[in-house]
Amino acid sequence: MDVPLDPPDDSSPTLRDALLVGDGALSSSSGDAEATATTFTGVDFYDPAVDVADYRDRIVLAAGVAPTDLPALATALAAAGAAALVARRTEDATPSGEHPDWERSLPVLRHLDGDWAQLADILRSLLSAHSIGHVTGVRMGDLFGLANALATLADGAVSVVDATGQVVGYSTHSEQPIDDVRRRTTLLLQEEIPISSDVEYQSLLRAHDARHFPSDTDQFGRVGIAVRASGELLGSLWVIQVDPSLSARTQRLLEEMEPIAAQHLLRAREDAADRDQRNSSLLRTLLEDERHARSAASQLLIRPEAGCTIVCFRVDTFDGVDAMRGLHRLLHLATSVSSAAFPGSHSAVIGTQVVTLIPGSIAARAHTFAHSVIRTDAALLAGIGTRAYDINGIARSHREAGATAGVLMASPISGDRHRQVRIATFHEMRDRLAILQVTDLIEGLDAAVGDSASILAEHDAAQGTDLSRTMRIYLDHLGSVRETATALHVHQNTVRYRLDVVRNDLGIDLDSPDTRLWLWLRLSVASRGSA
């Protein structure tokens, strides 16, 4: 890997840059602007066997140095022209605004309890000429900004992938070529191949340096590196390598930038967790707490009078663990799609659903958004509530969307035309939902005990017959013997015989409209409960 990077420029990193990329792991004892403007040319752990003169213009990490020895060390380093001393932050630190004389002799940075080796890697990454003005200028946690900065340095499109395989940032330089794989992963916001089955990804995880993966197809090759902090895998960086002869240069760049990328991924994870928790709490309040809903809407910057629609997503799986993992992947997908296409939208996991509020008075916007999400995975279902223009309407839209998604989630009866439906509006499911509400009431009525449906069920259990199913399909088809026989795959005479048993042997009056309606409702409840 001897291919040189671009010639370095004359600038050097400052202590201000070190505090920035330290992202809270470092703090300045004095806060002196002149001190933080100090530049440095290297980062070393303190070694008593090394002449202090060798630490000139360098940051010295006082790992393992006793607090009582720090004053003498700081004085000696100041005389030698060291750039700064980094010492462990202690609980009995000097009160704010008061600093001992030895801390005034040279800049002293305080390190929180953490990994000294990780801190050294982060600070040393600043010594790359490419860091100055490019990566250090990106707001910490801005993964899209990081991807764009790296894409500029690498001269190739960059993707940032988290430890679960989700694409959490990508470069947007239009002049840089990409291939179909990059287009699809950007659209889906996840790797096409699950990382547990991706041979290249698994080999990258076993490596401690960047790797080049040449392409043997018409797609471009990739250079990737696993990003870690204190041994924890945070994700990976991937660069499209258009010119394979420059892969060594890209590998070296990624290895230099990996510590800074780790800081960005850590901050992004913390920011996302805080944001998701806040949004989840406010969205739940808006939808479920009538007393504080208006305040929650204000904090979410929602204007109900401008219109908004609630969309509820479900993951159709019987595995509880997969469902929870799927919900969090779904939340990331819904958030990414909605924030990009519908500014002002909000998403959160509420119960077993991902709930998204789409602002605007155009109903088609919510359907377009829902379709964009569910098309990425066949296990996803979406229910869409009616458009709302006030606080109470938002709560109603949520109930409607949740109920619609629940109907789609429920296993339908065989041959039901809704079996293939994965997205529906409340309006489309209104009649079915009304029937389900009625049938829910029926199950708790005393009149259901010993009625005609119970007589059929008892006869089926005792005789091994299937009269309940026959009667339900017969009533579904409005009393047509021919259509009932076709649905049951039996002869019409078989249907007529079963109807005679129901009428004559069991004494059920099928000529009574009340009996037919009640029997159909009861049998419909039973069929959906056992489906």
Which tokens sit at 250? 């890209």
The pLDDT of residue 419 is 45
Given a cut of 90, whether residue 227 has pLDDT beyond it is yes
Of 430, 312, 287, whose CA–CA distance to 366 is shortest? 312
Q: What is the tally of helices (H) and strands (E) in the chain? A: 19, 15
Q: What is the pLDDT of residues 259-300, one digit of tens each?
A: 888 888 988 888 877 777 887 889 999 999 999 999 999 888
**How far apart (Å, rounded) are the C-alpha atoms in residues 294 and 438?**
32
The helix/strand/coil state of 130 is: coil
Of 406, 380, 409, whose CA–CA distance to 188 is shortest? 380
Among left, alpha and beta (phi > 0; psi -120 to 50; other), residue 254 is alpha
**How far apart (Å, rounded) are the C-alpha atoms in residues 58 and 267?**
27
Mean of the per-residue pLDDT values of the chain: 82
**pLDDT confidence of 95, banded at 50, 70, 90?**
very low
Higher-confidence residue of 437 and 191: namely 437
**pLDDT confidence of 117, banded at 50, 70, 90?**
confident
**How far apart (Å, rounded) are the C-alpha atoms in residues 488 and 474?**
10
Tokens 């470069």 locate to 171
The pLDDT of residue 492 is 94
Residue 178 CB: number of other CB atoms within 10 A?
20
Whether 107 and 28 have beta carbons less than 8 Å apart is answered as yes
Of 115, 111, 137, 5, whose CA–CA distance to 59 is shortest? 111
Kindly state the percentage of the chain with pLDDT values over 70.
83
The pLDDT of residue 187 is 59
DSSP letters spanning 237-300? EEEEESSGGGHHHHHHHHHHHHHHHHHHHHHHHHHHHHHHHHHHHHHHHHHH-TTTHHHHHHHT
Given a cut of 80, whether residue 84 has pLDDT beyond it is yes
Higher-confidence residue of 74 and 273: namely 74
**How far apart (Å, rounded) are the C-alpha atoms in residues 401 and 404?**
5
Kindly state the percentage of the chain with pLDDT values over 90.
31
The pLDDT of residue 223 is 94
**How far apart (Å, rounded) are the C-alpha atoms in residues 263 and 329?**
22
Going 247 to 249 to 255 to 260, the CA torsion angle's sign is negative
**How far apart (Å, rounded) are the C-alpha atoms in residues 382 and 59?**
55
**How far apart (Å, rounded) are the C-alpha atoms in residues 239 and 250?**
8
Task: Tell me the average pLDDT across 362-385.
Answer: 87
The pLDDT of residue 18 is 86
Task: Tell me the average pLDDT across 298-313.
Answer: 91
Given a cut of 70, whether residue 195 has pLDDT beyond it is no
Of 191, 342, 336, 324, whose CA–CA distance to 275 is shortest? 336
Using alpha carbons only, what angle is made at residue 21 by residues 18 and 24, rounded to the nearest 5 degrees?
Answer: 95
- The predicted model scores a pTM of 0.50
